[in-house]
Structure 1
Amino acid sequence: MIKAKYLTKVIDINKLYLEQIINEGDIVVDATMGNGYDTTYLAKKVGKNGFVYSFDVQEQAIQSTSKKLEKEGLSSRVKLILDGHENMDKYIDKEISCVVFNLGYLPRAKHMITTKPNTTIKAIENSLKLLKPHGVISLAIYTGHEGGLEEKNHVYNFVKNLNQSEFNVLECKFINQINNPPELILIEKKKEY
């Protein structure tokens, strides 16, 4: 179980929520693979009977994540997909418990390759359709790069208009930090949609 000693990072706070959501045997999605930290965490969390679909558009992300998974002995629990998260419905035909997004760019890579508002919204829409009742979408939104604020605004406009009888939407952010701290949005599906 993850325990946060300090409330300093959105990703750590996010894991406090995810610990309560993801169970062994679940099928989950890492919509923005990056360097593979979330994919590895999710693979451990779902256990040997669970499965993770992990997406990224950069070969560098696939290579980095593949190495991490091999080192941890988790490769058999994960499908690494070199494609945009907006296409997840082409690869997944099962109900999923959780979808994790870290919006922005791949750390230690080209910062001009970023998530985009139109593909992110399509990915969220597809996630909502694949999500099982009481499943959760987690969106860590980073705005300190070009286009980041625009993407955040699109995401907020989309999620604030979700029907409250079908979804719960929670916002979590640091209000006293400087330099564009990331924000966290959690969407829980209440019932079939």
Structure 2
Amino acid sequence: MSRAPDGGIPSILEFTHGLVRQVVRSADTVVDATAGNGHDTLFLAGLVGPQGRVYGFDVQAQALENTARRLQRHGAERQVTLFHAGHEAAGRLLPAGTENLACAMFNLGYLPGSDKQVVTTWHTTEAALRAVMPLLRAGGLVTLHLYTGHAGGSAEAAAVHDFCAALPWDGWRVLRYDFLNKEKNRETLLALCRQ
């Protein structure tokens, strides 16, 4: 695990990216379930390289435009397919034969700098998880970055926690990473590793 730039404890984003780097290799197939402004999409595209494939989902056209521009600026658009759909559509939009996924990344909440009323919900997140989890290879990873500083965020996070806590030990390992004393804009990472 890489250390934070200041030598301290890694932020949730740094910790997440460190975990993903340990799992994703060149030519892998991965999912960015919430493309947002394209930061994780670009990160994943760099890991899988031109021979790999990233499938990105977002319900907001502006998010996909932001992501596409970011990918183009870095010459990484070739290995990415973007879907203008919520992540709950993964089950029907991922191409037939998509299996052995190395990773699926989720950032739950709302698109920074956009309409805070457009948010992920447990209903859509559950559908997405149930679609992508069976496609993960052994050792594959799902990351769920939970934000609770918006309306409905705490309820979604609680439902995600309950779902993950109920996963069988013989099939999954679930890691939780957060800062207990962070008072504002609470966030938590849940990382699910398929056994």
- The TM tier, using the shorter chain, reads over 0.9
Query: Unaligned 5+ residue runs, structure 2?
Result: none
Structure 1, residues 17-67: CA drift from partner, whole Å, max 9, x if none? 111011111100000000000001100111111110000000000100010
SS in 1 for 2:37: coil
Give me the whole-angstrom Cα distance separating, in 1, the residues matched to 2:2 and 2:86. 29
Identity rate, percent:
36
Q: Which residue of 2 aligns with 1:81?
A: 83
C-alpha RMSD over aligned residues: 1.3
Higher mean displacement: 175-184 or 144-153: 175-184
Runs of 4+ with >2 A deviation: 1-9
1:43-62 to structure 2, matched below 5 A, reads 43-62=45-64
Q: Which residue of 1 aligns with 2:147?
A: 142
| Cα displacement (A) at 1:3 | 5.0
Give me the whole-angstrom Cα distance separating, in 2, the residues matched to 1:3 and 1:173. 16
Query: Unaligned 5+ residue runs, structure 1?
Result: none
Taking a change above 3 Å as real, the CA distance of residues 46 and 2 of structure 1, as seen in their structure-2 partners, is: farther
SS in 2 for 1:45: helix
Q: Which residue of 1 aligns with 2:4?
A: 4
Scaled by the length of structure 2, the TM-score of the pair is 0.94
1:14-53 to structure 2, matched below 5 A, reads 14-53=16-55
Taking a change above 3 Å as real, the CA distance of residues 80 and 3 of structure 1, as seen in their structure-2 partners, is: farther
Q: Which residue of 1 aligns with 2:15?
A: 13
How many residues are matched? Answer: 190
- Work out whether residues 122 and 160 of structure 2, in 8 Å CA contact, stay in contact via their aligned partners in 1: yes
- Work out whether residues 174 and 190 of structure 2, in 8 Å CA contact, stay in contact via their aligned partners in 1: yes
Match of 1:153 among 154, 158, 165: 158
- Work out whether residues 3 and 16 of structure 1, in 8 Å CA contact, stay in contact via their aligned partners in 2: no
- Work out whether residues 174 and 192 of structure 2, in 8 Å CA contact, stay in contact via their aligned partners in 1: yes
Scaled by the length of structure 1, the TM-score of the pair is 0.95
1:187 counterpart = 2:192: yes
